[in-house]
Amino acid sequence: MNEVDPEVNAGQRAPVRRRHWVLICIAILLVIVVALVVTRKPKTGAGDAADQPQPVTIRTATARLGNMGLYVEALGTVTPVATVNIFSQVNGTVEAVHYAEGQMVRRGDPLIDIDPRSYRAQLQEAQGTLQHDRAVLAQAVMDLARYKEASDQQAIARQTYDDQVQAVEQSRGTVKNDEGQVAYAEVQLAYCHITAPISGRIGLRLVDPGNVMFAGGSTSIAVITQLQPITVVFNVAEDNLEQVHDEILQRASLPVDIFDRSQQTKIATGKLLTLDNQIDTSTGTVRFRGQFDNARLNLYPNQFVNARLLVKTLTNVVLLPTAAVQRNGTQAFVYVVSGNTVKMRNVTELSTENDMAALTGVVDGDVVSATSFDKLQDGSKVTVQQAAGPQPAGPASSAASIEAGSKS
């Protein structure tokens, strides 16, 4: 049996292995080429439609011409026209208290009675002295008439007559002094019956029957605050003073509206009463005072409110819902609908009131987006769903506000 040379077998297997590796490399290259061709093949049909951006569904609002009031807004404090602290002007014991806490009183209503007996006795004493001195005066006047007749007949010395004239004058002075004492005693007696000096609401009860009152005490025995009418004092920035001053010169009074802290509920409507005669240098504001009838007593002293002063009325301005106005920092803008796309347009806000704003930068009839702002950008395609909310029809009337500034 012939033996095979190992070197000959190794030489025969080497070409076979090389062919196998060449085939493997060719297969790998084919796989790479096929993958590249498949990934670069253009998409058609449903795939193209899925990749294109979809139109944004929006609601719109239409700009309309109308009138809007121009206001100055500021924080205010309800300030009563008069607040009276009542003190005892005589010494004595409280006999009766005629009011209830928080009661509305009218001028002249009885409030407190203080024991009047000692003052009634002083009045009686003064009246007795007055009566005595009046009789002395009457006697002196009769004597003067006799002395005058005797002096004319030279029956008495002229000096006696002159002395009697002066005696009459002395008696008249005494009577006048007594009359003053009587009047003083009457006043002191009247102080024992304390009545309301003004109409208004009385505060909490401070004294009870049996308490001893002292004249000149530092503690008041009752406090009355006038509520009708009442005023509101608010601070307006000096930047707005010029236009307000011009309007005051042209008109007798300017309307003032009062709102609660949230500026959602109108509490009262009144008129501008006056303004201060100087600017507060620490805040750069001027104090204004408005007066209100306060018929429903819904303005309470020292209550913090928002005051809105009507300066003038803007006529034939473009009005849009405030929901359509967006802001990018300090710049306001709207998305104006043009065909099936929107264009971003900068606007200037003249004033706002409730859900309406007066603008420049848009014209009457412009249609703007009022929703879906998070999906919109300049040039976005849109689909209009419906108009947003009620639109101002024809010449509208609204109101607006200018912030009084942080200085207020």
The secondary structure of 295-360 as a DSSP string is TT----TT-EEEEEEEEEEEEEEEEEEGGG-EEETTEEEEEEEETTEEEEEEEEEEEEETTEEEEE
Tens digits of per-residue pLDDT, 370-383?
998 888 888 889 88
Tens digits of per-residue pLDDT, 206-238?
999 999 999 988 889 999 999 999 999 999 988
Q: How far is CA 32 from the centre of its chain?
A: 78
Does a structural domain hold residue 361?
yes
Both 277 and 344 in one domain: the answer is: yes
**Percentage with pLDDT > 90 across the chain:** 54
**Percentage with pLDDT > 70 across the chain:** 85
| Alpha-helix residue ranges (DSSP H) falling in 87-207 | 117-152, 158-190
Does a structural domain hold residue 12?
no
Q: Which of 206, 225, 244 is the last residue of a domain?
A: 225
Distances (CA, A) of 344 to 60, 327, 329: 14, 11, 15
Radius of gyration over every alpha carbon of the chain, rounded to an integer in angstroms? 48
Both 266 and 136 in one domain: the answer is: no
Task: Indicate whether this model's pTM tops 0.85.
Answer: no
Tens digits of per-residue pLDDT, 274-295?
888 899 889 899 999 999 999 9
Look at residue 397 in the predicted model and tell me its pLDDT.
43
Does a structural domain hold residue 53?
no
No. of H helices and E strands in the chain?
A: 5, 23
The CATH number of the domain where 361 resides is what? 2.40.30.170
Q: Apex CA 305: angle with CA 303 and CA 310, to 5°? A: 140
Both 318 and 375 in one domain: the answer is: yes
Both 360 and 303 in one domain: the answer is: yes
Burial-class residue 111 by CB neighbours within 10 Å (0-12, 13-18, 19+).
buried
Half-sphere exposure for 379 (CA within 13 Å, toward CB): 1
Q: Which of 167, 191, 215 is the last residue of a domain?
A: 191
Q: Which of 191, 208, 240 is the last residue of a domain?
A: 191
Residue 112: both structure tokens together? 């407190």
The CATH number of the domain where 131 resides is what? 1.10.287
The CATH number of the domain where 89 resides is what? 2.40.50.100
Please tell me the distance from the alpha carbon of residue 344 to that of residue 328, in angstroms, as a whole number: 11
Both 103 and 121 in one domain: the answer is: no
Look at residue 400 in the predicted model and tell me its pLDDT.
41
Both 318 and 202 in one domain: the answer is: no
Tell me: pLDDT of 389 over 50: no
Residue 396: both structure tokens together? 């509208």
Look at residue 65 in the predicted model and tell me its pLDDT.
92
**pLDDT confidence bin for 402, thresholds 50/70/90:** very low
Both 202 and 252 in one domain: the answer is: no
Report which secondary-structure segment, H or E, holds 16: helix 6-39
Both 70 and 173 in one domain: the answer is: no
Domains in the chain, number: 3
Tell me: pLDDT of 203 over 80: yes
Q: Can you give the residue range of the structural domain that contains 128?
A: 116-191
Tens digits of per-residue pLDDT, 364-373?
999 999 998 8
Both 304 and 396 in one domain: the answer is: yes
Both 256 and 387 in one domain: the answer is: yes
Does a structural domain hold residue 286?
yes
Both 238 and 330 in one domain: the answer is: yes
Look at residue 192 in the predicted model and tell me its pLDDT.
96
Look at residue 92 in the predicted model and tell me its pLDDT.
94
Does a structural domain hold residue 50?
no
Look at residue 13 in the predicted model and tell me its pLDDT.
56
Average pLDDT, the chain: 84
Both 140 and 220 in one domain: the answer is: no
Does a structural domain hold residue 55?
no
Tell me: pLDDT of 105 over 60: yes
Does a structural domain hold residue 356?
yes
CB 349 within 8 A of CB 335: no
Please tell me the distance from the alpha carbon of residue 76 to that of residue 87, in angstroms, as a whole number: 31
Does a structural domain hold residue 18?
no
Tell me: pLDDT of 406 over 80: no
Look at residue 367 in the predicted model and tell me its pLDDT.
92
User: Average pLDDT for residues 151-169, to the nearest whole number?
Assistant: 90
Look at residue 197 in the predicted model and tell me its pLDDT.
95
